[in-house]
Chains A and B, each alone.
Chain A
């Protein structure tokens, strides 16, 4: 069974440009999460989808970040326009429907804004 996959693995963009990150969760997982780790700090929650619905987006930094999960399968996270402080590693995770389960993470996308 395929795990959580993220694309691209690395992205270097200039300040002001747009970048779109993609996450393919484990097949059948209704719950999908985005997290971010900035400059060696803790991994912080960004938002949570249940199928195609945003359940919790309390961690989104500002309106330059837009997440979608059309059809309840893969998800995208767009940053527009990117700022220097957006640099970090963006992780996606998915989890099955049962409460007593763990989240499985992808390898992350390392975003560098220069």
Chain B
């Protein structure tokens, strides 16, 4: 069975602080994909990144960066110099190689204040 754990229910930071959202996953499959989605107050789920299990290279996109470590089964997400617009619920998700559906974590509510 697959499982995704986002232990941080809610994080509050002051603008310009760096913040890391944790994601730990469990799967017995050797082929899988990991995802991060953002849910702003408007409600839609916005795709941020997809990473497959054979690519452990970290990725940076502007103020966003992702750290994938198979040794600890983690796929953490860091926002550098956070902004108020980053306030949202962030979901980590897993899709295994033999399946089609996404297994989500419970989400982390990020609040960035002035």
Q: Are B100 and A55 in contact (CB under 8 A)?
A: yes
Q: How far is the CB of B23 from chain A (nearest CB, A)?
A: 12
User: How many B residues have CB within 8 A of the partner chain?
Assistant: 21
Instruction: Name the B residues within 8 Å of A100 (CB-CB).
Output: 52
| A25 contacts partner chain B, Cβ-Cβ < 8 Å | no
Q: How far is the CB of A39 from chain B (nearest CB, A)?
A: 11
| B64 contacts partner chain A, Cβ-Cβ < 8 Å | no
Given A43-B91, A108-B43, A108-B44 in contact, is the A103-B102 Cβ separation under 8 Å? Answer: yes
Instruction: Name the A residues within 8 Å of B101 (CB-CB).
Output: 33, 45, 48, 56, 59
Given A41-B106, A43-B91, A106-B44 in contact, is the A48-B100 Cβ separation under 8 Å? Answer: yes
User: How many A residues have CB within 8 A of the partner chain?
Assistant: 27
Instruction: Name the A residues within 8 Å of B63 (CB-CB).
Output: none
A59 CA / B101 CA spacing, docked (Å):
10
Q: How far is the CB of B105 from chain A (nearest CB, A)?
A: 6
Chain B, 45-71, CB within 8 A of any chain A CB = 45-47, 50, 52
A105 CA / B103 CA spacing, docked (Å):
14
A40 CA / B106 CA spacing, docked (Å):
7
A40 CA / B104 CA spacing, docked (Å):
12
Report A's interface with B, CB cutoff 8 A. 3, 9, 31, 33, 35, 40-45, 48, 55-56, 59, 89, 91, 93, 100, 102-108, 110
Given contacts A48-B100, A107-B44, 20 further A-B contacts (CB under 8 A): A31-B100, A33-B100, A35-B104, A40-B106, A42-B104, A43-B107, A45-B102, A45-B103, A56-B101, A91-B45, A93-B102, A100-B52, A102-B47, A102-B50, A103-B47, A103-B102, A105-B45, A105-B47, A108-B45, A110-B43
Selected A-B contacts with CB under 8 Å, 19 pairs: A9-B43, A31-B100, A35-B104, A40-B106, A41-B106, A42-B104, A43-B91, A43-B107, A45-B101, A48-B100, A55-B100, A56-B101, A102-B35, A103-B102, A104-B47, A105-B37, A105-B44, A105-B45, A107-B44
